[in-house]
Amino acid sequence: MERVVDKFLRYVGFDTRSSEESDRIPTTEKQLKLAEQLSEELNDIGLTDVSLDKNGYVMASIEGNIDGKVPCLGLISHMDTSPEISGSNVNPKIIENYDGKDIVLNEKDNIVLKTEDFPEIERYKGKTLITTDGNTLLGADDKAGIAEIMAAAEYIIRHPEIQHGDIKIAFTPDEEVGQGADHFDIKKFNAQFAYTVDGGEIGELEFENFNAASAEIKIGGRNVHPGSAKGKMINSMLVASEFMDMLPADETPETTEGYQGFYHIVSIKGGVEQTRLSYIIRDFDRDNFEKRKKFIQNCGEIICKKYGRNIVKINVEDQYSNMREKIEPVKYIVDIAAEAMNMADVEPKISAIRGGTDGARLSFEGLPTPNIFTGGHNFHGRYEYIPVFAMEKAIEVIVNIIKLTAKL
């Protein structure tokens, strides 16, 4: 059986960044290259009903080998990586027997994974780590999840003595741009419940997430020659600065944690005549979430009144909702994952996702889908890393979930 590390290193060699600006499906054609590779491997391992649809979704099955009716279990990970940083020419570094000190990722550019900045890395002294070379992200979000599901599927196929029900596997595109569940065929998948393998550090188990919305703000201006601009020019960039100053400075990602929500500006593009701001709005509490959306609209109205003209236009769109309300009625699926972790000597760390997964959308569409760890840290950036032993534990947990589901 191929090691999970070898699978992972192969998958991160595919550049699968998704795109927020694309209107194609999937948003980038290069995601299909990995989808084709995974389809081949699933067939080679021995799964059935392997398919790759026109939208880039890979699905496959492992037929149950147990008498009697047991729930059909789903396992899901996403193929794309964040568009925020390069995913091209990923060059992973393997750090064996990590000494607990700073790791120089790129000596030339003085890029260092410092224990001062990321103290949790010291917990992995003596372990093998996989890091970036400082130039790109690593892609453990979520190629580690893919590798772990693939390894677990191969293990189940190679060990027919393990009793299990039907198992469905899916790999999705475009999760990082909020579109991973847009074209997911739940009827075809036909699982009773599922797990996304898309979490962070070892032990993470999550069944609640942010309510999420995007806000696109267009601010108009009026350009006049600066030599004669007094009382006439309206510089949209300065108006945009006024707008940003109206939002609470202590309610940003950098200043919040736990169950605290935030406003996060992700893009500014502008000139005198027009400036565009892109925000995301996040909150776990539904009432607070609605208040946040209303507040950002009110800020625009105040600006318009000040300038006596409709210079601010705001479009707010919901992205996904907190899946807790859909998971709680079937809370036993969270308990199964926690027990599976305990069986693997992994302490379950039940927490809320300060983000979202495909599972959040799928839960509202009738497929309850909590999230379990991959083992990775510092996703979406050049300081990303993953301990190898955590990947191996994730495989063990997945296999345990399969065994426990067979007993329902």
Q: Give me the active site residues, please.
A: 80, 175
Decide: residue 126, CB within 10 A, 0-12 exposed, 13-18 middle, 19+ buried.
exposed
Measured over the CA atoms of residue 336, residue 340, residue 343 and residue 345, the dihedral's sign is negative
C-alpha 43/C-alpha 48 separation (Å) is 7
C-alpha 112/C-alpha 108 separation (Å) is 11
**What single-letter amino acid sits at 207?**
F
C-alpha 374/C-alpha 391 separation (Å) is 6
* Residue entry with tokens 């925000």: 279
C-alpha 147/C-alpha 140 separation (Å) is 9
H helices of 231-285, in order, are: 236-246
How far from the centroid of its chain's Cα atoms is residue 107's Cα?
Answer: 30
Closest CA to 209 of 378, 398, 369: 369
DSSP state for residue 255 in the 8-state scheme: G
Collapsed DSSP state (helix, strand, coil) of residue 124: helix
Closest CA to 121 of 131, 106, 111, 135: 131
Q: List, in order, residues 6 or more apart from 39 with CB less than 8 Å away.
A: 50, 51, 52, 58, 60
